């Protein structure tokens, strides 16, 4: 379970780099002084594609935190069998594809479908872990 966890953490770092590689030049072009930013609304003038990447970075700190906890619990409980590892890799793959969709073209119906699939995958890990522990 550690490899899928680390892979999603690495992916989060990649999105962080992409966020700043696009955000800083966009801020410069928009004449936004980083020292003057006090709240999120101060960045409203940034282009939507730049905001989408930042939104995705934030999303990678939401539901995936549950994944990290589940993966650790699964590993510690000795339940990291091939099914749970496959589910973990599936979750990571779906989250990466979700990021690509949101960051580069943000077709919401596709993104929502990927979110639902990743959620169902996460729920499967929860179900398997709960069944084994209870």
Comparing CA positions, the residue from 61, 62, 40, 60 lying closest to residue 51 is 40
Q: What percent of the chain has pLDDT over 90?
A: 91
Spell out the domains of the chain, with CATH numbers in brackets.
2-133 (1.20.120)
What confidence tens digit (pLDDT) does each residue in 90-117 have? 999 999 999 999 999 999 999 999 999 9
* Whole-angstrom distance, CA of residue 56 vs CA of residue 25: 18
Query: Looking at residue 36, what is its pLDDT?
Result: 87
Query: Looking at residue 40, what is its pLDDT?
Result: 82
Q: Report pTM.
A: 0.94
What confidence tens digit (pLDDT) does each residue in 30-61 have? 999 888 888 988 898 999 999 999 999 999 99
Burial 61-77 (b: 16+ CB within 10 A, else e): eeebeebeebbebbbee
């Amino acid at each position: 379970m550690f490899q899928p966890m680390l892979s999603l953490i690495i992916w989060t770092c990649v999105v962080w780099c992409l966020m700043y590689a696009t955000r800083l030049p966009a801020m410069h072009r928009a004449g936004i002084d980083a020292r003057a930013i006090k709240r999120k609304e101060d960045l409203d003038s940034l282009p939507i594609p730049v905001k989408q990447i930042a939104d995705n970075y934030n999303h990678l700190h939401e539901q995936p935190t549950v994944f990290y906890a589940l993966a650790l619990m699964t590993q510690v409980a000795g339940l990291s069998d091939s099914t749970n590892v496959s589910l973990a890799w599936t979750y990571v793959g779906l989250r990466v594809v979700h990021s690509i969709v949101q960051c580069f073209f943000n077709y919401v119906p596709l993104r929502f479908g990927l979110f639902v699939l990743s959620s169902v995958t996460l729920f499967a890990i929860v179900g398997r872990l709960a069944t084994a522990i209870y």
